[in-house]
Amino acid sequence: MRSFSLALRFNCKVNNSMTKIIAIGLVLSILIACNTSQESEEQKLAQSYCGGCHLMPTPDLLDKKTWKESVLPKMALRLGVVQQNIGFYQDFSTEEIVTFTEANVFPETPIVTPEQWESIVNYYVKNAPDKLPDSSRKTLISPTLSRFLPKANTPHVEPFVSLIKYDSLSKKLFVGSRRGMVTVFDQQFKRIDSLKVSSPPSDLRTYPDGSLDVLLMGIMDPNDHNRGTLEKARKSADGKTWALTPILQKLRRPVNQAFTDVDGDGLEDIVMCEYGNNVGQLSWFKQQQDNSYQVFKFDPAPGARLVQPYDFNRDGKLDFFVMMAQGDEQVSVIYNRGGGKYEKQILLRFPPVYGSSYADLADVNGDGWVDIVYTNGDNADYSMILKPYHGVRIFLNDGKNQFQEKWFFPLHGASKALADDFDKDGDIDIAAISYFPSNPQEGFVYFENQGNLKFTAKTFPTPRQDKWMLLEKADYDQDGDKDLLLGYLERPPYRFPLPAGMTGLQILENKTITKK
């Protein structure tokens, strides 16, 4: 009886313990299920409302504080949710407010309920990290660069450069300034001319007769005014003064342009990137027989950063390679179907916090199909923190214009990268710059191709300057290899006095081929 009694007590204890364990397990399962269900609903709301106009950003792209205090309040405006004390409209003029009100950029009535918005906020804040990882220590940039050397006699230019353009025919260098000036240098870096313009220039085309097409932003800083223009600049008969004639007016912060016969009628048209801010567009200006222009919209969204004619489908008609960098960040191709008909295909799409800054075309792997070299690093908006996903990427073409990322190099604040065979060894190298670096070594980086998508990253032992905004390539010294021209734009609020040695222009001479 004693043994039976002990066994009974033991079994009762076991059964009671098991019952408690099972009960606790059920409670935990219910709680987990409830939490999972709640998170799932929050995620669905975020996907529905934060992924409707652009690729949905995942919570891990920013830290909790940045989501809560900076980005989410701005997102609330897009959903018509009233947020107290953010002072949004005080940053805009009446003209701008009317513009984006008419465009319904910020709805007057909420699209979501207060409860739905709270769920969206909870989803991002709960799932975001406290701090983003630091990518700068994971990659090595060797301070052993000798391929490019800064030219000692580069003229000093104020650090307010908005444009660099080299004309290989006339061997002239054009440098545009935020102050509304275009300065012309000859091949020996001597100032030979200057042109006063009404606003910061962003693009320029030269003609054999010496005339210019100058694209002017109107206002350079983010805005929704339509004060940008495209001007024809011609020299007077005596060659002493310039005369400017408007070609296009009322553009919204235009930054890039392409001249080509879009519809095949024999007249040259203009494709225009109107970056704008809250309102902008990728425009096509069709030239009429009387030389006037009729405007059409390829893409009625802000952030048009670059356009490049290229025959993607090899049908003999030029298509348009386009990058959009504001809100719905994407790289796309607008296929020319003939007769003025076009079809858009999105090649790559990125979250709005990525900060897309540039994209270049080059056959990186030598398979006969053009690939994409892409940079993202714009860090001047609502999330000014170091981001491990900023950098330089290569997307390879599978031969059907489908692109996959095959190489990535983290580079904080990457602003531009150009692909070319800089060392003349038969493969594609990459030169890149950063405008928001975490250290001076990231300001300029040269990636030398070692084959099979392996690159060595190099920079100068002692960088002359730690940040750059503009990058162009040109055989400036006419020795058979591509040199690099770097430009810098100081952002307001300006530092006065400016740091010693800071310049707006640096020419890097390619030492691959030495003149005899």
Give the mean pLDDT of the chain.
Answer: 89
Contact of 324 with 304, CB cutoff 8 Å: yes
Q: In whole angstroms, what is the distance from residue 258 CA to residue 298 CA? A: 13
What phi, psi does 375 have (nearest 5°)? Answer: -125, 145
Over the stretch 148-175, which tens digit does the pLDDT of each residue have?
Answer: 999 988 888 999 999 999 999 999 999 9
pLDDT at 465 over 90: no
Buried b or exposed e, range 101-125, using 16+ CB within 10 angstroms? eeeebbeeeeebeeebbebbbebbe
SS3 384: coil
Report the candidate in 463, 465, 484 with the shortest Cα–Cα distance to residue 142: 463
pLDDT at 18 over 50: no
| DSSP states of 138-172 | SS--BS---SEEE-TTPPP--SBEEEEEEETTTTE
Over the stretch 393-432, which tens digit does the pLDDT of each residue have?
Answer: 999 999 999 999 999 999 999 999 999 999 999 999 999 9
With left for phi above 0 and alpha for psi between -120 and 50, is residue 399 left, alpha or beta? Answer: left
Residues listed for the chain: 516
Domain map of the chain by residue range? 41-127, 133-168+353-515
Confidence of residue 139 (pLDDT cuts 50, 70, 90): confident
- In the chain, the amino acid numbered 409 is F
Structure token pair of residue 84: 């107290």
Over the stretch 219-263, which tens digit does the pLDDT of each residue have?
Answer: 999 999 999 999 999 999 888 899 999 999 999 999 999 999 999
Buried b or exposed e, range 277-288, using 16+ CB within 10 angstroms? bbbbbbbbbbbe
Give the model's pLDDT for residue 466. 87
Which residues are CB-neighbours of 15 under 8 A, at least 6 positions away? Answer: none
pLDDT at 32 over 70: no
SS3 502: coil
Structure token pair of residue 418: 């150009």
Contact of 46 with 54, CB cutoff 8 Å: no
Contact of 306 with 373, CB cutoff 8 Å: no
- In the chain, the amino acid numbered 373 is V
Buried b or exposed e, range 388-418, using 16+ CB within 10 angstroms? ebbbbbbbbbeeeeebeeebebbbbbbbbbb
**pTM score above 0.95:** no
Give the model's pLDDT for residue 88. 64
Burial class (CB in 10 A: 0-12, 13-18, 19+), 152: exposed
pLDDT mean over 324-350: 94
**Which contacts (CB < 8 Å, 24+ apart) does range 363-366 have?**
363/428, 364/394, 364/396, 364/419, 364/428, 364/453, 365/396, 365/453, 366/427, 366/428
Q: In whole angstroms, what is the distance from residue 447 CA to residue 409 CA? A: 10
Confidence of residue 82 (pLDDT cuts 50, 70, 90): low
SS3 461: coil
Cis previous bond, 497, omega within 30: yes
Structure token pair of residue 356: 């897309």
pLDDT at 10 over 60: no
pLDDT at 21 over 50: no
Place of tokens 């640096």: 506
